Amino acid sequence: MSERLKRAVQELLTHADVKINGKRVWDIRVLNDRFYARVLAQGSLGLGESYMDGWWECDALEQFFDRVLRAKLDQKVKGSWRLLASGVLAHVQNRQKKSRAFNIAYAHYNKGNDLYAAMLGRTLAYTCAYWKNAKTLDQAQDAKFDLVCKKIGLKKGQRVLDIGCGGGGLAAHAARKYKAHVVGITVSEEQVALAQERCKGLPVEIRLQDYRDVNEQFDHIISLGMFEHVGVKNYRHYMEVAHRCLKDDGLFLLHTIAGNTSVRMTDPWLDKYIFPDSVLPSIAQIGASIEGLFVMEDWHNFGHDYSKTLLAWHANFEKAWPQLKDRYDERFHRMWRYYLLCSTGSFLARKNQLWQVVLSKNGVRGGYVSIR
Predicted confidence (pLDDT) per residue in 187-204, tens digit:
999 899 999 999 999 999
Q: Which domain range does residue 314 map to?
A: 101-360
In this structure, what CATH number is given to the domain that contains residue 163? 3.40.50.150
Q: pLDDT at residue 96 above 60?
A: no
In this prediction, residues 76-82 reach a mean pLDDT of 54
Do 237 and 159 have their domain in common?
A: yes
Residues 293, 155 share a domain: yes
Bigger pLDDT: 255 vs 277: 255
Residue 360 vs residue 264, higher pLDDT: 360
Report the percentage of the chain scoring pLDDT > 70.
Answer: 90
Could you tell me if residue 194 is inside a domain? yes
Whether residue 84 lies inside any domain: the answer is no
Would you say residue 344 lies in a domain?
yes
Residue 92 covered by a domain: no
Give domain status of residue 95, yes or no.
no
Same domain, 33 and 116: no
pLDDT of residue 97: 56
The band of 242, judged by pLDDT with boundaries at 50, 70 and 90, is very high
User: Is the pLDDT assigned to residue 223 strictly greater than 80?
Assistant: yes
pLDDT of residue 75: 79
Q: Do 118 and 31 have their domain in common?
A: no
Q: What is the pLDDT of residue 203?
A: 98
Any domain includes 369: no
Same domain for 142 and 59, yes or no, is no
Instruction: Judge if 55 and 203 occupy the same domain.
Output: no
Whether residue 104 has pLDDT greater than 50: no
User: Helix, strand or coil for residue 272?
Assistant: helix
Same domain, 63 and 175: no
Distance CA 312, CA 231 (A): 28
- Same domain for 68 and 144? no
Per-residue pLDDT averaged across 337-361, rounded? Answer: 98
Q: What's CA 143's distance to the chain center, in Å?
A: 18
Mean pLDDT across 326-330: 93
- 268 pLDDT band (50/70/90 cuts)? very high
Q: How many domains does the chain have?
A: 2
CA distances from 94 to 3, 226, 230, 232, 284 (A): 43, 17, 10, 8, 19
pLDDT interval class at 74 (50, 70, 90): confident
Q: Is residue 366 part of a domain?
A: no
* DSSP letters spanning 295-313: EEEEEEE-THHHHHHHHHH
Whether 74 and 222 map to the same domain: the answer is no
